C-alpha cells in the first residue's frame, strides 16, 4: 500500500514533530509520499513543500491581522489542491488556528484527518474541543493525561508519547556539544532561546540579550549561546550588536539553528514559553520561562487561561488534581491562584524585565543543589514521555485508514 500523505506544519517545533512522524511512518509504509507545508526538518525526511513554513510563522491576535488576507488565500489554495488530489490522509501538526479549518473542510469531503498534538484545551481556549470534534477523525496525543480528557468529549485519541523523548538522549553529551559550538568545556554556559516567530523574537530577544548583559555584569566568566532559526539569524545577530548588549560580544555565540546542541551544551536556559521549554526539560536543564506579547493580545489570552502556568515543565510536573476540567468561572479562578506549585520560574509579560530575568537565572546559579534536584525530576519526566512512538502512531493511523 502506498500512503499518500498531506501534512501542514506551521512553525519550527511542528516541523520537527512532523519529520519524526514521517520517519516513523516510513518504517510501516516505505513508499510513503508526503507533501504540503513544512520546513527544513520535513524536507530532510523526504517531504515536498508546496509552500515554505515561513508563510505560516505568525502568532497572536493583533499580530496576525496584517497577514490575514495572505493566510486565508494560502489556506483556500491548499484546500482546493487537496480536494482535487484527495490524499489518503491529512495530518495537521499543531497550529490549530490554521489546521482546524483545513481539516474540517477535508473531513466533510470524506478525506481522513488526523491532528497531531492535542490542542492545549486543558490550559486555555476550551471551546477548541468543539472545533476539534468537527475537524479530526483522530488525535495523536503527546501527554499521558490527554486521551481521557478527549474521550470525555467524544474525541478518539491515542497517547503516543513525545517523539522528542525518543530522540533526545537520556544523558546528553555536554562536552561534545560544546566542542561542536566552539564553547569552552569548563565554562558555565547559559542558553538563550527567544522563540522561532518574528513577533515573539521581536518581543523577547532584546529582553533576553539585555538579561544576559545584566548577568554578565555580575558574573563575567559566563558564556552565552543563542540558537536562532535560520530565517531570523541575521536579525538576531543585528540585535546582539545594539548598545547595551554589545559588551557580550566576546561571550555570546549566535548559531544558525542547532537548538538541541545549544541545550546539550548549556548548564541553564532562558526559554520562551512553548515547545522549547519541554525540550529544555528533556535535556535536564534548569530554566527560566518567559513570554511577552502586545498588551491587548495578552489580555485576550489571559481571559482564556485555565491553569496558573504557561510552561510545559510546570504543567507536566503538576499534581493531577490541578489538571482536571472545571467550569469556566472555577477554571479562571484556578488560573489566578498564587499557591500553584512551580518547578521552574515563569516571568510573563510585564514581569519579564531584563533585570528580573537575570535575577531568576542568578538564583539558579546560586543554588547548585536546587539545580541537581530539578535535573532528577526532569529525568523522571523523560521516562514517562519515552514511548514506542513510531509503533503507536503507525498503529493508530493504520486503524484509522481501515475504518
Query: Would the pLDDT of 275 be above 70?
Result: yes
pLDDT class for 357, splitting at 50, 70, 90? very high
Domain count for the chain, please give it.
2
How crowded is the C-beta side of 46, counted as CA atoms within 13 Å? 14
Q: Are residues 262 and 196 in the same domain?
A: yes
In the DSSP assignment, the letter for residue 240 is T
- Domain annotation covers residue 104: yes
- Please give the grid coordinates belonging to residue 144: 499521558
- CATH number at 81 reads 3.40.50.2000
- Please give the grid coordinates belonging to residue 62: 493583533
Per-residue pLDDT tens over the stretch 364-400:
999 999 999 999 999 999 999 999 988 899 999 999 9
Q: Which of 171, 169, 224, 231 is nearest to 198 (CA)?
A: 231
Average pLDDT of the chain?
90
**What confidence score (pLDDT) does residue 346 get?**
95
In this prediction, residues 218-231 reach a mean pLDDT of 91
Q: Are residues 206 and 140 in the same domain?
A: no
**What confidence score (pLDDT) does residue 59 get?**
55
- Domain annotation covers residue 249: yes
CA distance 283 to 105: 39
Q: Are residues 155 and 14 in the same domain?
A: yes
115 and 89 in contact (C-beta within 8 Å)?
A: no
Per-residue pLDDT tens over the stretch 282-322:
999 999 999 887 777 777 677 778 788 889 999 999 888 88
Q: How large a percentage of the chain has pLDDT more than 70?
A: 97
Per-residue pLDDT tens over the stretch 91-127:
999 888 899 999 999 999 999 999 999 988 877 777 7
pLDDT class for 240, splitting at 50, 70, 90? confident
Q: Are residues 80 and 40 in the same domain?
A: yes
CA distance 346 to 353: 12
**What confidence score (pLDDT) does residue 289 get?**
97
- Domain annotation covers residue 169: no
Q: Are residues 215 and 238 in the same domain?
A: yes
DSSP assignments along 65-94, one per residue: GGGHHHHHHHHHHHHHHHHHH--SEEEEES
Q: Are residues 222 and 157 in the same domain?
A: no
Q: Are residues 323 and 215 in the same domain?
A: yes
CA distance 383 to 168: 11
Structural domain of 50? 4-161+387-402
Q: Are residues 392 and 343 in the same domain?
A: no
Per-residue pLDDT tens over the stretch 153-201:
899 999 999 988 988 999 999 999 999 999 999 999 999 999 888 778 8
- Domain annotation covers residue 72: yes
**What confidence score (pLDDT) does residue 100 get?**
95
- Domain annotation covers residue 216: yes
Tell me which H or E stretch contains 272: strand 268-272
CA distance 243 to 100: 43
Backbone angles phi, psi at 29, to 5 degrees: -125, 85
- Please give the grid coordinates belonging to residue 219: 558574573
Beta strands in 82-210 (DSSP E): 89-93, 113-116, 138-141, 157-159, 189-193
Beta-bridge mates of residue 290: 272, 347
Q: Are residues 313 and 324 in the same domain?
A: yes
**What confidence score (pLDDT) does residue 36 get?**
96
In the DSSP assignment, the letter for residue 196 is S
**What confidence score (pLDDT) does residue 324 get?**
80
CA distance 14 to 27: 20
Per-residue pLDDT tens over the stretch 50-73:
998 887 765 555 556 667 788 899
- Domain annotation covers residue 133: yes
- Domain annotation covers residue 168: no
- Domain annotation covers residue 381: yes
- Please give the grid coordinates belonging to residue 146: 490527554
Q: Are residues 145 and 239 in the same domain?
A: no
pLDDT class for 332, splitting at 50, 70, 90? confident
Number of neighbours of residue 249 by Cβ within 10 angstroms: 9
Q: Are residues 288 and 276 in the same domain?
A: yes
Q: Are residues 194 and 343 in the same domain?
A: yes
Amino acid at each position: 500500500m502506498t500512503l499518500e500523505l498531506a501534512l501542514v506544519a506551521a512553525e519550527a517545533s511542528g516541523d520537527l514533530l512532523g519529520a519524526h512522524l514521517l520517519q516513523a511512518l516510513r518504517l510501516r509504509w516505505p513508499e510513503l509520499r508526503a507533501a504540503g507545508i513544512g520546513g527544513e526538518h520535513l524536507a530532510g525526511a523526504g517531504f515536498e513543500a508546496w509552500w515554505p513554513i515561513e508563510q505560516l510563522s505568525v502568532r497572536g491576535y493583533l499580530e496576525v491581522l496584517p497577514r490575514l488576507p495572505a493566510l486565508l488565500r494560502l489556506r483556500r489554495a491548499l484546500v482546493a489542491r487537496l480536494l482535487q488530489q484527495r490524499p489518503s490522509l491529512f495530518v495537521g501538526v499543531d497550529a490549530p488556528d490554521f489546521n482546524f479549518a483545513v481539516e474540517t473542510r477535508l473531513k466533510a469531503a470524506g478525506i481522513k484527518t488526523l491532528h497531531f498534538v492535542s490542542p492545549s484545551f486543558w490550559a486555555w481556549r476550551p471551546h477548541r474541543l468543539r472545533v476539534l470534534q468537527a475537524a479530526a477523525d483522530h488525535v495523536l496525543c503527546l501527554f499521558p493525561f490527554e486521551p481521557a480528557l478527549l474521550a470525555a468529549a467524544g474525541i478518539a485519541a491515542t497517547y503516543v508519547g513525545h517523539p522528542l523523548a525518543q530522540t533526545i538522549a537520556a544523558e546528553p553529551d555536554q562536552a561534545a556539544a560544546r566542542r561542536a559550538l566552539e564553547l569552552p568545556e569548563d565554562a558555565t554556559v547559559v542558553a538563550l532561546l527567544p522563540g522561532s516567530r518574528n513577533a515573539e523574537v521581536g518581543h523577547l530577544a532584546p529582553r533576553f540579550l539585555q538579561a544576559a548583559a545584566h548577568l554578565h555584569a555580575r558574573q563575567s566568566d559566563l558564556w552565552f549561546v543563542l540558537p536562532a532559526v535560520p530565517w531570523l539569524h541575521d536579525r538576531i545577530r543585528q540585535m546582539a550588536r545594539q548598545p547595551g548588549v554589545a559588551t557580550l560580544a566576546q561571550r555570546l555565540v549566535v548559531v544558525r539553528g542547532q537548538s538541541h546542541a545549544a541545550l546539550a551544551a548549556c548548564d541553564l536556559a532562558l526559554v520562551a514559553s512553548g515547545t522549547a521549554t519541554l525540550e529544555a526539560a528533556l535535556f535536564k536543564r534548569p530554566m527560566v520561562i518567559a513570554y511577552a506579547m502586545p498588551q491587548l493580545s495578552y489580555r485576550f489570552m489571559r481571559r482564556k487561561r485555565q491553569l496558573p502556568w504557561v510552561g510545559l515543565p510546570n504543567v507536566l510536573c503538576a499534581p493531577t488534581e490541578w489538571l482536571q476540567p472545571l467550569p469556566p468561572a472555577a477554571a479562571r479562578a484556578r488560573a489566578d491562584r498564587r499557591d500553584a506549585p512551580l518547578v521552574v520560574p515563569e516571568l510573563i509579560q510585564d514581569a519579564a524585565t531584563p533585570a528580573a530575568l537575570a535575577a531568576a537565572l542568578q538564583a539558579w546559579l546560586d543554588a547548585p543543589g536546587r539545580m541537581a534536584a530539578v535535573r532528577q525530576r526532569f529525568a523522571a519526566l523523560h521516562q514517562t514521555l519515552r514511548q514506542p512512538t513510531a509503533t503507536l502512531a503507525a498503529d493508530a493511523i493504520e486503524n484509522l485508514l481501515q475504518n
